[in-house]
């Protein structure tokens, strides 16, 4: 019999969702768990999988439509079912509302996997997350045994395949205490931007201008930013830190780290770990304000900003104080991957107590970000650059040396945090980074 597709409940506080686009047209076949449509809520954008395999008979709500959760939005005839009766049943479903003045969202830049391979290969359909993992590891999905419906490759399948082909890790070597790096330490290369802004008109110019509505995500970003500025009196402070020890540590360990853990070692977990230590020393920056009460949080839940082609999202690493540097890297890699493949859940972007944003990979020296409510502070990490600086030896003699330097900027809520406290926090953070005493095991 025909199966209804409903707007999913993405979280207890979410009551509606907006349809961004459909990946399938009426009359096309779908596989169970294949991405069927993309929705946007006030928390996250997400892809909704098909509940059954069959034929998409009827789309009841088009792109740009906002509907309540549990509302029927489409009808699928199950595999092997006669189409005509199902179509008749679908026609009795609630009629779609009048067309919204909002124009349809632009079609995806890339064809769906089914169209890439042709409809004759439904068994190889996979989720965007699986395809991304395969691309990152150079894996042909045709070689991966699938345990999902109709032989579909699941996330567990691709991870198990990677684990089997991974070489055994080299025997551990005793770690030596960090020493000041020589002047020949290679300059850190800016990471290649993982996303490119695509905010450009989707319609051709007719006359002097083109007008298009903001996407749901951009509307929510606008609301949150204006509310934050209205709520918190923002003050900023900027520090400079030397990262030569960290650069040398990462350069020397990144190959072994990836072989042992299956993760690329980035600079982000170093800043996260340093922020955790500074927040332990100054817990007021890990607090929030509710009316006339200061709410101190037991755990440090770090929000890490992730740039997307169509906006920005801040997924959260909960209980960051309990994680090693390896754990922090694993957590932030997972969240960033799921953010870019629209696999985040509302719980993944809630509950932050302090946030970090990083404009450095794009060449920015530093930024003065808007506080992520209800936090009282946010740290901005600039680009790491090798620059000539004045250095002092143990006897106080000065000379000019080439060092790896970074600007760190803190935006803080002056209702709760004073300038002296903010500067002491930043001095502590700077000290942790410059000491470079991080365990990579």
Q: Which residues are catalytic?
A: 414, 418
Phi/psi zone of residue 396: left (φ > 0), alpha (ψ -120 to 50 degrees), beta?
A: left
Q: Quick one: how far is CA 78 from the chain centroid?
A: 35
Contact in structure between 25 and 107 (CB atoms under 8 Å)? no
Q: Between β-strands 288-290 and 45-49, what pairing exists: parallel, antiparallel or unpaired?
A: unpaired
Q: Between β-strands 72-78 and 2-6, what pairing exists: parallel, antiparallel or unpaired?
A: antiparallel
Question: Whose structure tokens read 């089997």?
Answer: 164
d(CA 357, CA 77): 46
Q: Environment class of residue 317 by beta-carbon count within 10 Å: exposed (0-12), middle (13-18) or buried (19+)? A: buried
Return the axis-axis angle of helices 128-136 and 155-165, rounded to nearest 10°.
Answer: 10
DSSP 166: S
Question: Three-state DSSP class for 162?
Answer: helix
Q: For the CA atoms of the chain, what is the radius of gyration? A: 25
Contact in structure between 194 and 374 (CB atoms under 8 Å)? no
Instruction: Give the DSSP letter string of 139-152.
Output: --GGGSPP-SGGGP
Instruction: Give the DSSP letter string of 269-288.
Output: HHHHHHHHHHHHH-GGGG-E
How many other β-carbons are positioned within 10 Å of the β-carbon of residue 162? Answer: 16
DSSP 119: T
Question: Whose structure tokens read 């509307």?
Answer: 219
How many other β-carbons are positioned within 10 Å of the β-carbon of residue 229? Answer: 12
Helix or strand run (H / E) with residue 293: strand 293-295
Non-local (6+) Cβ contacts of 236 within 8 A are 368, 409, 410, 411, 412
């Amino acid at each position: 019999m025909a199966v209804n597709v409903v707007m999913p409940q993405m979280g207890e506080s979410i009551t509606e969702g907006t349809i961004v686009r459909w990946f399938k047209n009426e009359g096309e076949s779908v596989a169970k768990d294949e991405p069927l449509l993309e929705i946007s809520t006030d928390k996250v954008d997400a892809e909704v999988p098909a509940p059954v395999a069959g034929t998409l008979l009827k789309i009841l709500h088009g792109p740009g439509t906002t509907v309540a959760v549990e509302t029927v939005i489409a009808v699928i005839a199950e595999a092997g079912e006669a189409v005509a009766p199902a179509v008749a049943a679908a026609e009795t479903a609630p009629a779609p509302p009048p067309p919204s003045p909002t124009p349809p969202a632009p079609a995806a830049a890339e064809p769906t996997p089914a169209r890439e391979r042709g409809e004759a290969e439904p068994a190889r359909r996979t989720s965007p997350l699986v395809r991304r993992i395969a691309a990152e590891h150079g894996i042909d999905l045709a070689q991966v045994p699938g345990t999902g419906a109709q032989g579909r490759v699941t996330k567990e399948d691709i991870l198990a395949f990677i684990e089997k082909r991974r070489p055994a890790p080299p025997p551990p070597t005793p770690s030596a205490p960090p020493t000041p790096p020589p002047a020949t330490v290679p300059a850190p290369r800016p990471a290649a931007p993982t996303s490119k802004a695509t905010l450009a008109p989707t319609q051709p110019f007719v006359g002097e201008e083109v007008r298009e509505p903001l996407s749901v995500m951009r509307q929510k970003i606008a609301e949150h930013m204006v509310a934050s500025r209205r709520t918190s009196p923002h003050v900023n402070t900027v520090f400079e830190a030397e990262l030569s020890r960290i650069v040398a540590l990462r350069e020397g360990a990144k190959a072994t780290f990836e072989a042992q853990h299956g993760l690329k070692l980035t600079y982000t977990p170093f800043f996260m770990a340093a922020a955790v230590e500074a927040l332990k020393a100054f817990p007021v920056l890990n607090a929030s304000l509710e009316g006339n009460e200061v709410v101190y949080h037991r755990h440090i839940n770090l929000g890490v900003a992730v740039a997307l082609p169509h906006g920005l999202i801040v997924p959260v690493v909960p209980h960051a104080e309990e994680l090693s540097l390896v754990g922090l890297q694993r957590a932030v890699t997972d969240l960033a991957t799921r953010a870019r493949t629209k696999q985040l859940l509302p719980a993944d972007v809630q509950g932050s107590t302090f946030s970090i944003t990083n404009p450095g990979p794009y060449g920015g020296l530093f930024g003065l970000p808007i506080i992520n409510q209800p936090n009282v502070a946010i740290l901005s990490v600039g680009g790491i650059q090798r620059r000539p600086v004045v250095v002092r030896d143990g006897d106080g003699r000065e000379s000019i040396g080439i060092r790896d330097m970074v600007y760190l900027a803190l935006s803080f809520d002056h209702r709760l945090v004073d300038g002296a406290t903010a500067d002491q926090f930043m001095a502590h953070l700077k000290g942790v980074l410059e000491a470079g005493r991080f365990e990579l095991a």
